[in-house]
Amino acid sequence: TEAWFIDSFEEWRKAKNLSNFILLGHSFGGYVASKYALKHPEHVQHLILVGPAGFTEETDPKTEFVTKFRATWKGAVLNHLWESNFTPQKIVR
């Protein structure tokens, strides 16, 4: 799938006759832009990522809290229920 997006983008670049450009990607586009820049660095002058999918801040306090909470027995139970598609709405139904 990655190759399809990257190769399609490369074909577009050739059709537009671009040689060296600034590439900006948001969300999943940030992921694809990163992969493109790794494969074709000679064409990317600058890479700008805005909320890219697959990347998180290393010091994100929410991520740290969730990781610590999941390590507890309560967190493990809630995580198991969530992954089993058990939600509070299921009780209401």
The predicted pLDDT at position 43 comes to: 95
Confidence of residue 13 (pLDDT cuts 50, 70, 90): very high
DSSP output for 33-92? HHHHHHH-GGGEEEEEEEEETT---TT-HHHHHHHHHHTSHHHHHHHHHHHTT--HHHHH
pLDDT digits (tens, 9 = 90+) for 52-74: 877 666 666 667 787 788 889 98
